[in-house]
Amino acid sequence: MRMVDLIEKKRDGKELTTEEIQFIIKGYTDGSIPDYQMSAFTMAIYFQGMTERERADLTMAMVESGDQIDLSKIEGIKVDKHSTGGVGDTTTLVLGPLVASVGVPVAKMSGRGLGHTGGTIDKLESVPGFHVEIDNNTFIDLVNKNKIAVISQSGNLTPADKKLYALRDVTATVNSIPLIASSIMSKKIAAGADCIVLDVKTGAGAFMKTLEDSRELARAMVRIGNNVGRKTMAIISDMSQPLGFAIGNALEVKEAIDTLKGEGPEDLTELCLTLGSHMVLLAQKANSLTEARQMLEKAIQNGSSLETLKVFLSSQGGDASVVDDPSKLPQAKYTFELEAKEDGFVSEIVADAVGTAAMLLGAGRATKESEIDLAAGLVLRKKIGDQVKKGESLVTIYSNFENVNEVKEKLYENIKISPEKVNPPKLIHEEITG
């Protein structure tokens, strides 16, 4: 096989065989196919697309390019959740203990990553003593015993995707549905999930800005999952404004604790119950979506999901007393209120700009080497549709810097107030099933 012939074949809109796709991914991973040929190939995919069969083959070729996590020693059906990313998305911190408390095994491998806030691990590390440096056997034992554990990403997972994603980033080929869908799905499958629940975000703060694009991506991922034997479904949820109120690491841990107490923001609670019900159903712990939801609501009401959180934290060295006393979480030196300059209704909270404001306070990493300030961040006091009076607080800013003028300016520019009544955006747009 020659790469040049395969580029030509895709360029002309023909379908590649399984063997041809495997040849390309193997050759690119081991370096025998150079970046310039792979660039031409991804551009051909960008314009010609890929059939459903090609997408599944590409995904599995990337899965097979590196290590795969073996979760077979964990009892039960392992359901993983993946979000395509948003601002202040606290769902993982809530969903883990929530579904674990009704018996769904949560074996989470997580990373740190770049972004407006840290990743799940950074957030959890705001609990004093909590750590994810546990070995594989301990990880598996903890999931079997407590139904939940988190381990830091290790091993060589989907090296083909790592290389390809970096190449796409500099060749204007990130934005291709078959490439995005196979990239995301390959990582989930390599991480060992039996079933996958996808939270595909839509709106200004999301990777996909329109409902049409989000739907297309969701469908593509659901088909890949089901075609390779992993039951997969997707929810399309709103990310035109940040989710919940808190954006920041310790602040989001507190928000997750509140939500598990039944006192969390309405949107975050609803999204977690929706995603969680599908996870419980896929894990075959309930016979219907209605039953699954009732189990989760009960676990919040009777305190069992909060108890699961405490056991999870203390099993990995964390001080579980933060659950009853969140003031033991890292606290910022200063707080400031962003006061509304006029009366009206909140009409817009531009999610990614507000995320950037949190990052300016130190809540996220700009580069891999940046230090995270776990205490820093924002708590929204108003969401889209809320009435506001001049002088009322729109946002509380938590900072270890004394001067937050730049942050305030950015927030004023991106939180709009209208004199007319505004309807809040719909939270859950669609469910996509195989």
Phi, psi of 236, deg, nearest 5: -105, 120
**Binding flag, residue 88, Ca ion (CB under 5 A):** yes
What sign for the dihedral angle of Cα 356, 362, 367, 368? negative
- 304 as an active site residue: the answer is no
The contacts of residue 327 (CB under 8 Å, 6+ apart) are none
Stretch that binds ligand URA, among 51-59, 150-158, 179-187, 238-246 (CB under 6 A): 179-187
246 binds, among ligand URA, Ca ion, none (CB under 5 to 8 A by kind): Ca ion
Looking only at residues 106 through 165 of this chain, which bind ligand URA when binding is defined by CB under 6 A?
165
**Binding flag, residue 179, ligand URA (CB under 6 A):** yes
- 161 as an active site residue: the answer is yes
**Binding flag, residue 401, ligand URA (CB under 6 A):** no
88 binds, among Ca ion, ligand URA, none (CB under 5 to 8 A by kind): Ca ion
Q: How far is the CB of 95 from Ca ion (least distance, A)?
A: 13
180 binds, among ligand URA, Ca ion, none (CB under 5 to 8 A by kind): ligand URA
Say how far apart CA 17 and CA 291 lie, in whole Å: 43
Say how far apart CA 336 and CA 399 lie, in whole Å: 8
**Length of the chain in terms of residues written:** 434
Q: Which position among 110, 176, 182, 183 bears the catalytic label? A: 183
- 194 as an active site residue: the answer is no
Say how far apart CA 133 and CA 86 lie, in whole Å: 26
361 binds, among ligand URA, Ca ion, none (CB under 5 to 8 A by kind): none
**Binding flag, residue 246, Ca ion (CB under 5 A):** yes
Say how far apart CA 92 and CA 196 lie, in whole Å: 14
Q: How far is the CB of 176 from ligand URA (least distance, A)?
A: 8
**Could you give the 3-state DSSP secondary structure of residue 349?**
strand
Which tokens belong to 355? 């995320």
**Could you give the 3-state DSSP secondary structure of residue 364?**
coil
344 binds, among Ca ion, ligand URA, none (CB under 5 to 8 A by kind): none
- 187 as an active site residue: the answer is yes
Burial class (CB in 10 A: 0-12, 13-18, 19+), 367: exposed
**Binding flag, residue 180, ligand URA (CB under 6 A):** yes
- 168 as an active site residue: the answer is yes
Q: How far is the CB of 407 from ligand URA (least distance, A)?
A: 27
Say how far apart CA 159 and CA 31 lie, in whole Å: 12
Which tokens belong to 41? 């190939």
Interface residue list for ligand URA (CB under 6 A): 165, 174, 179-180, 183-184, 207
Positions annotated as catalytic residues are 82, 161, 168, 183, 187
Interface residue list for Ca ion (CB under 5 A): 88, 90, 244, 246
